[in-house]
Amino acid sequence: MSNEAHHWFLSPEDDQKITEVFKQLRVRYQDYKDPWGFNLELCENALRKLMPLYRSYFKVRVFGQENIQDKPYLVVGNHTGQIPLDGMLVTIAFAFDVSPPRILRAMVERFLAQMPFLGDLTAQTGSILGDRANCEYLVDHGESILIFPEGVKGISKNTPDYYKLRPFSQGFYRIALQKKTPILPICVIGAEEMFPLVFHAKKLASMLKIPSLPISANFLPLPSPIDIYIGKEIPVPEHMNLESTDKEIKENVFHIENTIKKMIIHGLANRRPFFDSIRKPISKYLIQEFRNKKNEA
């Protein structure tokens, strides 16, 4: 098999790195008891299966790892794509491309947590129902939480609104105030293009009792190259607490929102061409396969 073909499978180097990452994580979690069924072995198995997608299909690049310290964060970012694969890719990035590695605990909507099978699977791989008590428990135990304050509206945008932030909810900032946990802003570039929107099936979504059901032209995500940017942490002001006014909280949430907006603008200006990212690796793979068959003949 050619070297190009090998890229679509787990490479020995990535396999070895995953082994090393989870050796560190087992030490980290050796005394931790998770109330929601978090399963580190399942996370390791999932990462081995998903790494070829992360590496070769979405070609994920991560910028700003130097901004992360070994402490709990509320990792706050833009929510993109008609199907929320952005959270999965960010979680892989923080386990594989960040030092020390960590499993981000993603906040999910109640409808997802209550879905048969999927709710259990997301809990076992680290997700939690996004309420304040759950988040405070995790921060107390040294965990970092992945939060998309746009909520479902962030992944159900019309095409002209791609990369335009919906207003952030303020609940996450009250958690930050309660625990004095710094905010780590991130942005994801490339996920909006995975599933081109055709229309929003609002009636069907209502029948299924889910908040949104965007219908795409394709069943599988397009191989849009993904860039993840990690900004500098934003500390909670010392003078603020849960008694702070709504106006003060709103101003600080707006500052975080504006920071992420600037990161998105930078990311869009430096993104990779979508079609080149598809055409070049496929062309190189086909040429190599043609040469191999010619040599075999």
Q: Which of 131-135, 147-151, 223-227, 281-285 has the highest mean pLDDT?
A: 223-227
Structural contact between residues 76 and 256, judged by C-beta atoms closer than 8 angstroms: yes
| Confidence at residue 137, expressed as pLDDT on a 0 to 100 scale | 94
| pLDDT score recorded for residue 1 | 44
pLDDT of residue 290: 47
What is residue 130's predicted lDDT score, i.e. its pLDDT?
A: 79
| CA 2 – CA 141 distance, rounded (Å) | 46
Q: CA-CA distance, 258 to 249, in Å (whole number)?
A: 14
pLDDT exceeds 60 at position 170? yes
Q: What is the pLDDT of residue 160?
A: 80
Cis upstream peptide for 100 (omega within 30°): yes
**Span 236-241, mean pLDDT?**
93
Residue 263 CA, distance from chain mean position: 16
Report the chain's mean pLDDT, rounded to a whole number.
85
Q: What is the rounded CA–CA span in Å between residue 131 and residue 242? A: 16
- Per CATH, the homologous superfamily of domain 61-271 is Glycerol-3-phosphate (1)-acyltransferase (3.40.1130.10)
Least confident of 166-175, 213-222, 263-272: 213-222
So what's the pLDDT on residue 153?
Answer: 72
pLDDT at 46: 95
Percentage of residues in the chain with pLDDT exceeding 70?
Answer: 80
Contacts 24+ apart (CB under 8 A), 42-49: 42/124, 42/125, 43/95, 43/103, 43/125, 43/126, 44/18, 46/125, 47/18, 47/21, 47/92, 47/95, 47/96, 48/10, 48/15, 48/18
The separation between CA 224 and the C-alpha centre of its own chain, rounded to angstroms, equals: 15
Residue pair 95/26 in contact by the 8 Å Cβ criterion: no
Lowest model confidence (mean pLDDT) among 40-49, 60-69, 160-169, 178-187: 160-169
Does 214 score more than 80 pLDDT?
no
**Which two tokens mark 277?**
């990212």
Q: What percentage of the chain has pLDDT greater than the value 90?
A: 60
pLDDT band at 155, cuts 50/70/90? low
For residue 2, the model assigns a pLDDT of: 42
The domain segmentation of the chain, as residue ranges, is 61-271
| CA–CA separation, 188 and 186 (whole Å) | 7
Report the candidate in 78, 64, 76 with the shortest Cα–Cα distance to residue 145: 76
Confidence of residue 84 (pLDDT cuts 50, 70, 90): confident
Res. 57: pLDDT tops 70: yes
pLDDT of residue 188: 97
Better-scored residue on pLDDT, 2 or 178: 178
